[in-house]
Amino acid sequence: MRSISIFGATGSIGQNTVDLIARDRSRYRVVAVTGGANIARLAQDAIRLNAEIAVTAHADRFEDLRAALSGSGVAVAAGEAALIEAADRPVDWVMSAIVGAAGLAPGFRALRHGGTLALANKESLVTAGPLLLAEARAHGATILPVDSEHSAVFQALAGEDIAAVERIIITASGGGLRDWPVEALARATVADAGAHPNWAMGQRITIDSASMFNKGMELIETREFFGVPPSRIETVIHPQSIIHALVGFNDGALMAHLGAPDMRHAIGYALNWPERRDLPVARLDLAQIATLEFRAPDPRRYPALRIAREVMETRGGAGAVFNAAKEIALDGFVAGRIGFMDMATVVDRTLDAMASQICLTSSMANLEEVLMTDHMARKTAWTQIAKMES
Ligand code: NAD
Ligand code: MG
């Protein structure tokens, strides 16, 4: 029986993970499940999975969680330190699906036991890629990508020599505004940007798809995880989201990964790796799909891609600044303080302003430095937003 923990169990990735585990209960011993403010869901899943401990990130919700789990035999804890303690419990497999910078520390901690870290939390690789990979190496741990594109690349690379890879192509749906005239984008509202044609996701990641800041994050993730130089990483718009990524080899072969847009594929692949087992995902009917389209992304429409490329070249602290600035820019957009296209301007200006304060090109020494850079970048990004308003 494999022991597992799920960090961010109550979120979108977390719930898909819970679904897969619950279907195959007898194969797993669930140690920790964690969540945030949704106490009812956390308690319900802890009971359903017979977890050893349930942890809410909110220290002030301890009593609520305790009440919800009283008599269940599930231990209860709350707060940031409790999340780290949960990560200290050794298990064979950990799902890292907390959203944002809060997911970094538990993921790092879990690597200390060796075992496998299924990594959904994008921010870990974007802000601290080299540190995370070094930590995994130091403890003999395995990191498996859970973002669908990176899982697709990982699968296309199975049994291959990375030295024979000529290029990695990450596909992008183009987001909800992909067919709008470029000139109209500046007027796009939160509701316009928050509707996705293919994937059902939260509002923030859906807006990040429309702006392609999400794809920018994924390009950086690709660079960090697979160690391929930026010149060999491309992105192409593929509106159907059927091909998730392609890997091109030096003999001209291009291996594509196709699948229904369902995150349970990437999660299930990481859960069953190195085996493949049945997964409850829809099978593709190619004759019915009939056509797969591709087009090059227009750089005027998606400045986020250019910025991400600059970050891939700079590395060091640039990833942490990029991630923090694009989150604050999104907050500013959602709050109605800046327009849709201004988000890229905020990120550009934050990177410039930060580069004049600290050396962005030097490597991050440790997690504390990453979090400090994140904190500074957030403040700087708000300053840029305020300047743009005045
Ligand atoms: P979500 O918002 O649906 O869920 C996030 C989870 O993190 C919840 O369990 C929440 O309670 C918890 N959480 C939030 N703030 C926290 C904090 N401060 N401390 C501790 N826990 C906290 O997010 P999601 O869509 O499931 O995404 C999770 C991660 O996976 C993100 O990094 C995202 O970019 C990445 N990802 C998501 C998808 C997707 O399809 N949803 C695809 C690829 C990658
Ligand atoms: Mg993705």
Residues 364-382: pLDDT tens digits? 999 999 999 999 999 999 9
* The pLDDT of residue 390: 84
Q: Which residues contact 370 (CB under 8 A, 6 or more apart)?
A: 104, 127, 128, 131, 317, 320, 364
Atom 18 in ligand 1: which residue has the minimum CA distance?
A: 102
Atom number in ligand 1 closest to CA 123: 32
* The pLDDT of residue 285: 97
- Whether the per-residue pLDDT at 195 is higher than 90: the answer is no
Among the listed ranges 36-40, 69-73, 174-178, 229-233, which one has the minimum average pLDDT value? 174-178
Q: How confident is the model at residue 318 (pLDDT cuts 50, 70, 90)?
A: very high
Q: How confident is the model at residue 203 (pLDDT cuts 50, 70, 90)?
A: confident
Residue 383 sits at the vertex; the CA angle it makes with 378 and 386, to the nearest 5 degrees, is: 130
Q: What distance in angstroms lies between residue 197's CA and the mean position of ligand 2's atoms?
A: 14
Q: Which residues contact 180 (CB under 8 A, 6 or more apart)?
A: 188
Q: Which of 41, 60, 99 to mutate to test the pocket of ligand 1 (most atoms within 8 A of CB)?
A: 99
Token readout for 143 is 């990191």
Nearest ligand to the CA atom of 199: 1
Atom 11 in ligand 1: which residue has the minimum CA distance?
A: 36
Average pLDDT over residues 277-291: 97
What domains can be seen in the chain, in order of their start residue?
Answer: 2-145 (3.40.50.720), 151-261 (no CATH), 316-389 (1.10.1740.10)
Indicate the pTM of the whole model. Answer: 0.97
Nearest ligand to the CA atom of 86: 1
Average pLDDT over residues 109-123: 97
- Whether the per-residue pLDDT at 200 is higher than 90: the answer is no
Average pLDDT over residues 177-199: 91
Burial of 334 (0-12, 13-18, 19+ CB in 10 A): middle
* The pLDDT of residue 262: 94
Q: How confident is the model at residue 196 (pLDDT cuts 50, 70, 90)?
A: confident
Q: How confident is the model at residue 282 (pLDDT cuts 50, 70, 90)?
A: very high
In angstroms, the Cα distances linking 59 to 36, 45, 77, 88, 120 are 10, 19, 8, 18, 24
Nearest ligand to the CA atom of 102: 1
Average pLDDT over residues 235-241: 96
* Cα gap 161→359, rounded to integer Å: 35
Q: At what angle do helices 213-226 and 122-139 cross, to 10 degrees?
A: 10
Q: How confident is the model at residue 276 (pLDDT cuts 50, 70, 90)?
A: very high
Token readout for 131 is 């540190």
Average pLDDT over residues 154-176: 96
Q: Which of 98, 170, 196, 262 to mutate to test the pocket of ligand 1 (most atoms within 8 A of CB)?
A: 98
- Provide the mean pLDDT of the chain: 97
- Whether the per-residue pLDDT at 362 is higher than 90: the answer is yes
Q: What distance in angstroms lies between residue 184's CA and the mean position of ligand 2's atoms?
A: 26
* The pLDDT of residue 114: 96
- Whether the per-residue pLDDT at 342 is higher than 90: the answer is yes
